[in-house]
Amino acid sequence: MSAGLSRQQIVTWLGVLGIVPFLLALAWPDPDISFRAFSLYSLAIFCFLCGNWWSVSLLSSAITAPQRVLVLLLSNVLLLVALVLVFLEMPASLIGMAVLYAGLVAGESQLAVFARQPAYYCRMRRGVSAAVVLLHIAGWYLVT
């Protein structure tokens, strides 16, 4: 990419811009709509990230079959927990989602399948995920 933005810049900008809908939802004047929009967007992003776990594990030739199955099962379990949390429509669900986002980052730093991800991507994911966790806590605080 000689002209324009590099792959690293595009990925970083898209990751950071993904925070904006969380901020807009928190700023929405109607608390019910704010909570619902925030929760649904959170679930959408969480689905995207869990789907990424599938892609990474299926394309990786550097892991064993049991490691691959672990990643696939973990992503499904985490997604199902997230779905239940959002379905419950309770303020405490936002804290649960914050914990799940932290769990995704922890998994990406501990599971072998993610060892080959570019350093810039890992930094971006940690930073954006930290912001998302804090926004979930702020959202919980605002609705309680």
Q: What is the pLDDT along the chain (144 residues), one digit of tens a residue?
A: 557 899 999 999 999 999 999 999 999 999 999 999 999 999 999 999 999 999 999 999 989 999 999 999 999 999 999 999 999 999 999 999 999 999 999 999 999 999 999 999 999 999 999 999 999 999 999 998
- Buried b vs exposed e over 83-114: b needs ≥16 C-beta within 10 Å? eebbeeebeebbbbbbebbeebbebbeebebb
Tell me the whole-structure pTM to 2 decimals.
Answer: 0.94
Please give the pLDDT value at position 144. Answer: 87
Report DSSP letters for 88-144, one per residue: HT-THHHHHHHHHHHHHHHHHHHSGGGTTS-HHHHHHHHHHHHHHHHHHHHHHHHH-
Tell me how far CA of residue 18 lies from CA of 40, 42, 97, in angstroms.
Answer: 14, 10, 16
Please give the pLDDT value at position 2. Answer: 55
